[in-house]
Chain A
């Protein structure tokens, strides 16, 4: 069972962890494991991959324990390691075909108007079944985004990181995160539109 840790618990735990105390690591795995597993599942979907990513994250954290300087919260530090571990695993997996981003962005006439006329998306009749199907269609579509865009979308819209946090993990500027996120959302809209009944242009 996980339990929330207060700041005093965390500082004490961080000290014990830095000294390599085995009990501290067990507490760490039990307290932070569930959150890290949830994060890995968001990024990887596949359960086995998510568990492996968390496993590898804790090994990395153990090896890097001396580098934890208390400037960020222990939970933030671990989360960053787990997200990186999940992203590495994601990149190592064989991918479906990737679509060039430019082909998925809206097109405009010289006058600045949209080329395409957008029609309202249809909500399917069976909501429960529809939710499952939509979730699967959206995940498949995210998989078709180019890596640089897909990772930003996963970190921002699925994992819920801020622009700043995503920028630090990906080692790019906040502005690059915003641009990629915006393009990723527009591209994803194009990819999932047929699922909502939009006829392709």
Chain B
């Protein structure tokens, strides 16, 4: 059976769905039996969610560029020509 240390090494591939089916089965068997690794996996996922939430990603599509920035860039480009 995998150790907790090995489980921690496979977390990235497990959470991104890249783990080989055989390894995945072993991983899930350990997780099923080990509460500490269950909690660590939960927190690993929560960390990814918290990171994404901290960036405020949902607002991204509505972002506009301020007019004064456009003007500043275009003026700078004129000078660069």
Contact = CB atoms under 8 A, between A and B. Distances in A.
A185 to B, nearest CB: 6
Given A2-B64, A37-B63, A157-B52, A114 B74 contact: no
B55 A118 contact: no
Nearest to B2: A112
Which of B11, B65, B72: most chain A Cβ within 10 A?
A: B65
Contacts of A41: 63
Contact of A58 (B42, B54, B64, B73): B73
Given A111-B3, A121-B43, A189-B43, A29 B55 contact: no
Contacts, number: 134
Contacts of B55: 42, 158-159
B80 A112 contact: no
B5 A135 contact: no
A77 interface: no
Interface string A111-124: 11110011111000
Interface residues of B, number: 41
Interface in B34-77: 36-37, 39-40, 42-44, 46-48, 50-57, 59-60, 63-66, 69-70, 72-74, 76-77
A113 B63 contact: no
B44 A185 contact: yes
Interface of A: 1-2, 20, 22, 25-26, 29-30, 33-35, 37-38, 41-42, 51, 54-55, 58-59, 62-63, 106, 108, 111-114, 117-121, 131, 134-136, 138-139, 142, 153, 157-160, 178, 181-182, 185-186, 188-189, 192-193, 196
Interface of B: 3-6, 8, 11-12, 36-37, 39-40, 42-44, 46-48, 50-57, 59-60, 63-66, 69-70, 72-74, 76-78, 80-81
